[in-house]
Amino acid sequence: MSIIEMVLIALVYLGIFSVAGLFLVLLERRVAAWFQLRIGPNRVGFQGLLQTMADALKLVSKELTGTEKADKFLYNLAPYFVIITALMALGVIPFTKDFQAFDINIGIFFLIAISSIGVIGILLGGWASNNKFALIGAMRSGVQTISYELSVGLSLLTMILLTRSLQLSEIVEVQKNGWLIVQGHIPAIIAFMVFMIAGTAETNRAPFDMVEAESELGAGFHTEYSGMKFAYFFLAEFINMFLIAAIATTVFFGAWLSPFGITESIPWLGVFWFLLKTLILVFLMMWFRWTFPRLRVDQLLTLEWKYLLPINLVNIVIMAFVVWQNLIIQF
Amino acid sequence: MSYFSNIFYGIKTLLTGMRVTGKYFLNSRKGAITQQYPDNRGILKMFDRFRGEVIMPHDENNEHACTGCQKCEIACPNGTIEIIWDRGLDEATGKKKKKIDQFVYHLSLCTMCGLCIDVCPTDAIEWGQNFENSVYDRTALTRVLNKPDSKIRPGVED
């Protein structure tokens, strides 16, 4: 692949996903409104479709303010860390057989690694802001991400016992005989539940939004950010949510494979199936957000270290047993 | 084994919560509580206990129930109501009787406490549903509540 080709693909991804992220923000706002018996933004464009575009334009045109004693270099670097890692991870997601920018043989490992770099951006932003709320928020983010990274990794590892490959295209290939959540039955369902809980915590969304807990910390780590830099953090949160849902789709629900192979002859429909599955999972995360109350820090750590981690470890052993005895359900 | 029962109890309660919010989500089309205000001005109905402004209802004969007793004026904590009264001949008895000339209501001073309405012996004044009270000139907020040439409804005594 030549450099120019790479740059072009990067630009295309950047364009598609920054717009897609904006629409996710809109979706979240509409869904939130429906959960609360409100209507939500419906004025700008048909059914408010252009609302977040207008918001983004407003944020671009705003003045960038910052604290006087902030560490200027790190302060400006932080939002880029967060957004770039979020966009980088999208490169390995298989939208269809051909629509995958970067099919490396350590795909899952790459995803886990990249998604934990994002937290460095949050830590940098919190530290460099020179603000106590931002610092507390960033430290909480560190605690949370380090803890829940374990569960994300282990639940994906459980599924890798089934697929015997880290490469995402291979993982999809294995699922042609039934999605992994069916193939792996009980341990796979447990792994999926653990992954969704840990994934929600990874993206710092409610009920795990200790990082920006409005009632305690103002806006958390991005208290001191404004304008476009704030928009980067905001967009990154939504791209990360999409990413967690996309990983779950790929690993548990057969990525771009259609249910029972009903549209196998039309390969480009894979994008539709992939996005449909992903959006259902995104909706599930929004449902969590507008239902559950926020956890305390100690409850957050109890959940991870006393519940999710032991369950996960036992689950891996069960999955190993299932694979060893060949108790997999395949069509 | 409270460890496992904790897990199951946790999952059960979370699902209960999700069922409640899910029900709201599915019914949001029918039951949205948002008022799209300037658009639905024609059909927007305020609720019964809404305190918009004090009004004096008149019947079809242009008659009201205000005897001019001034209890509302005394009850008002901030001088919102001013009653300009006079004595006139009562047609039924032929005696001189107190009657109102102008019931002046300063909306700009009113805190909507409702003491005047509580104290009125003849229920001559009540809450109106109007809430669009913005004007360009504050003198427009001083209103005379009894209509021109209106008189007290016969038989109303305090």
- Contact at CB, B18 and A291, closer than 8 angstroms: yes
Give the pLDDT mean for A123-131. 86
Give the CATH number for residue B93.
3.30.70.3270
Q: Is the model's pLDDT at B77 over the cut of 90?
A: yes
First to last CA, chain A: 37
Query: What would the pLDDT profile of A92-104 be if each residue is shown by its tens digit?
Result: 888 888 777 788 8
**pLDDT in the model for residue A268:** 81
Residues B29 and B61 in one domain: no
| Per-chain mean pLDDT for chain A | 86
Taking Cα atoms as reference points, which of A305, A254, A311, A295 lies closest to residue A149?
Answer: A305
Q: Is B75 domain-assigned?
A: yes
Give the pLDDT mean for A38-54. 87
**pLDDT in the model for residue A194:** 92
Tell me the pLDDT band of A281, cut-offs 50, 70 and 90: very high
> Of B7, B14, B33, which has the smallest distance from its Cβ to A38's Cβ?
B33
Chain A CB contacts of B13 under 8 Å are none
* CA A135, chain centre distance (Å): 23
Residues B84 and B125 in one domain: yes
Chain A CB contacts of B14 under 8 Å are 291-292
Q: Is B47 domain-assigned?
A: no
Q: Is the model's pLDDT at A213 over the cut of 80?
A: no
Tell me the pLDDT band of A2, cut-offs 50, 70 and 90: confident
> Of A38, A291, A307, which has the smallest distance from its Cβ to B21's Cβ?
A291
Residues B82 and B135 in one domain: yes
Counts for chain B of helices (H) and strands (E), in that order:
3, 7
Q: Is the model's pLDDT at A313 over the cut of 90?
A: yes
- Contact at CB, A34 and B17, closer than 8 angstroms: no
Q: Is the model's pLDDT at B106 over the cut of 90?
A: yes
Give the largest CA-CA distance in chain B.
93
Residues B153 and B118 sit within 8 Å (Cβ to Cβ): no
Q: Is the model's pLDDT at A212 over the cut of 80?
A: no
**pLDDT in the model for residue A101:** 78
Tokens 């690993």 correspond to what residue? A251
More confident residue, A82 or A265: A82
Residues B144 and B66 in one domain: yes
CA distance A144 to chain B (A): 20
Q: Is B133 domain-assigned?
A: yes
Chain B CB contacts of A34 under 8 Å are 24-25, 28
**pLDDT in the model for residue B88:** 80
Tell me the pLDDT band of B155, cut-offs 50, 70 and 90: confident
- Contact at CB, B17 and A39, closer than 8 angstroms: no
Residues B20 and B83 in one domain: no
**pLDDT in the model for residue B104:** 93
- Contact at CB, B36 and A39, closer than 8 angstroms: yes
- Domain span at B18: 1-34
**pLDDT in the model for residue B83:** 92
d(C-alpha B103, C-alpha B85), whole Å? 8
- Contact at CB, A291 and B36, closer than 8 angstroms: no
Query: What would the pLDDT profile of A134-180 be if each residue is shown by its tens digit?
Result: 888 888 888 888 888 889 999 999 989 888 888 888 888 888 888 88
Residues B122 and B69 in one domain: yes
Residues B147 and B139 sit within 8 Å (Cβ to Cβ): no
Query: Mean pLDDT lowest for which of A69-73, B67-71, B104-108?
Result: A69-73
Chain B CB contacts of A35 under 8 Å are 21, 24-25, 28
- Contact at CB, B36 and A37, closer than 8 angstroms: no
Pick from B2, B6, B25 the residue to mutate for testing the A interface (most A CBs within 10 Å): B25
Query: What would the pLDDT profile of B116-151 be if each residue is shown by its tens digit?
Result: 999 999 989 999 888 888 899 989 999 999 888 888
CA distance A36 to chain B (A): 7
* Residue pairs spanning A and B at CB distance below 8 A: 40
d(C-alpha A73, C-alpha A79), whole Å? 11
Q: Which 3-state string (H, E, C) describes A133-169?
A: HHHHHHHHHHHHHHHHHHHHHHHHHHHHHHHCCCCHH
Count of structural domains within chain B:
2
CA distance B16 to chain A (A): 10
Per DSSP, the residues of A69-113 read TS-HHHHHHHHHHHHHHHHHHHTT--SSSS--S---TTHHHHHHH
Residue of B nearest to A306 (CA): B3
**pLDDT in the model for residue B152:** 86
Q: What is the DSSP letter of A52?
A: H
Residue of B nearest to A31 (CA): B25
> Of B21, B34, B36, which has the smallest distance from its Cβ to A35's Cβ?
B21
Query: What would the pLDDT profile of B47-71 be if each residue is shown by its tens digit?
Result: 888 898 899 999 888 898 988 889 9
- Contact at CB, A287 and B32, closer than 8 angstroms: no
Residue of B nearest to A303 (CA): B7
Residues B29 and B100 in one domain: no
Chain A CB contacts of B7 under 8 Å are 307, 311
| Per-chain mean pLDDT for chain B | 88
Of A109-113, B74-78, B91-95, which one has max mean pLDDT? B74-78
Query: What would the pLDDT profile of A19-31 be if each residue is shown by its tens digit?
Result: 888 888 899 999 9
Residues B121 and B148 in one domain: yes
Residues A297 and A305 sit within 8 Å (Cβ to Cβ): no
Q: Is B48 domain-assigned?
A: no
Query: Exposure pattern of A10-48 as b/e (b: 16+ CB <10 Å)?
Result: eeebeeebbeebbebbbbbbbbebbbbbebbbeeeeeeb
Q: What is the DSSP letter of A305?
A: I
Which amino acid is located at B40 in the chain?
N
SS3 content of chain B, % helix, strand, coil (to 5): 30, 20, 50
Residue of B nearest to A310 (CA): B3
Give the pLDDT mean for A264-275. 83
**pLDDT in the model for residue B76:** 92
Chain A CB contacts of B18 under 8 Å are 287-288, 291
CA distance A306 to chain B (A): 9
> Of A34, A38, A292, which has the smallest distance from its Cβ to B17's Cβ?
A292
First to last CA, chain B: 75
Give the pLDDT mean for A208-228. 81
Residues B21 and B71 in one domain: no
Residues B135 and B68 in one domain: yes
φ, ψ at B83 (rounded to 5°)? -110, 120
Residues B101 and B74 in one domain: yes
Q: Is B10 domain-assigned?
A: yes
Tokens 């907020």 correspond to what residue? B141
Contacts of residues A141-146 at CB distance under 8 Å and 24 or more positions apart, as own/partner, are A141/A204, A141/A210, A141/A211, A141/A220, A141/A221, A143/A297, A143/A301, A144/A201, A144/A204, A144/A208, A144/A210, A144/A211, A144/A300, A145/A116, A145/A119, A145/A201, A145/A202, A145/A204, A146/A119
**pLDDT in the model for residue A131:** 84
- Contact at CB, A38 and B7, closer than 8 angstroms: no
Q: Is the model's pLDDT at B31 over the cut of 80?
A: no
3-state secondary structure of B85: strand
Q: Is B62 domain-assigned?
A: yes
Residues B100 and B136 in one domain: yes
